[in-house]
Amino acid sequence: MYRTAANRLLHHASLIKISAGSHLRRLPILGTVITSSRFSTTADLQTSPNQTFHPSDSSTSSSSSSTAGDDSRHGSKNPRAEYEEEQARVLQASLRHVIKFGWSEEAMITGAKEVGVSPSIVGSFPRKEAALVEFFMDDCLQRLIHRIDSGEELQQLIPSQRISKLVRVRLEMQAPHISKWPQALSIQAHPMNVPTSFKQRAMLVNEIWHAAGDEASDIDWYVKRTFLGGIYSTTEIYMLTDRSPEFRDTWLFLDDRVKDAFDLKKTIQEATYLAEAVGAGMGSSLQGFVGKVFQR
Partner 1 sequence: MALRLLTRNLRNRISPNLCSASLLHSHATSFGFKEVREEEKSQMVGKVFSNVASNYDLMNDFMSAGLHRLWKDRLVSKLTPFPGMKHLDVAGGTGDVAFRILESINSIRRRALQDPINDDLQEETRIYVCDINQNMLNVGKNRALERGLGEDKSLVWVQGDAEALSFEDNSMDGYTIAFGIRNVTHIEKVLTEAYRVLKRGGRFLCLELSHVEIPVFKELYDLYSFSVIPRLGEVVAGDRESYQYLVESIRRFPPQEKFASMIADAGFQKVEYENLVGGVVAIHSGLKI
CB nearer to partner 1: pick between 83 and 273? 83
CA distance 196 to 206: 15
CB nearer to partner 1: pick between 116 and 245? 116
CB nearer to partner 1: pick between 112 and 228? 112
CA distance 13 to 199: 17
CA distance 240 to 180: 9
Least separation in angstroms between CB 81 and partner 1: 10
Least separation in angstroms between CB 273 and partner 1: 59
Least separation in angstroms between CB 149 and partner 1: 32
Specify whether the CB–CB gap between 251 and 168 falls below 8 A: yes
CA distances from 25 to 123, 141, 198, 208 (A): 19, 15, 12, 21
CB nearer to partner 1: pick between 57 and 149? 57
Least separation in angstroms between CB 234 and partner 1: 34
* Three-state SS at 125: coil
CA distance 252 to 242: 11
CB nearer to partner 1: pick between 54 and 292? 54
Least separation in angstroms between CB 105 and partner 1: 7
CB nearer to partner 1: pick between 68 and 275? 68
Least separation in angstroms between CB 179 and partner 1: 18
Q: Comparing C-alpha atoms, which of 39, 138, 32 is closest to residue 80?
A: 39
Segments in 151-247 forming alpha helices (H): 159-173, 181-188, 194-211, 220-240
Return the biggest CA–CA distance within the chain: 97
Sites of contact with partner 1 (CB under 8 A): 30, 33-36, 38-40, 53-54, 56-57, 61, 65, 68-69, 71-72, 76, 79-80, 82-83, 86, 90, 105-106, 109, 112, 116-124, 128
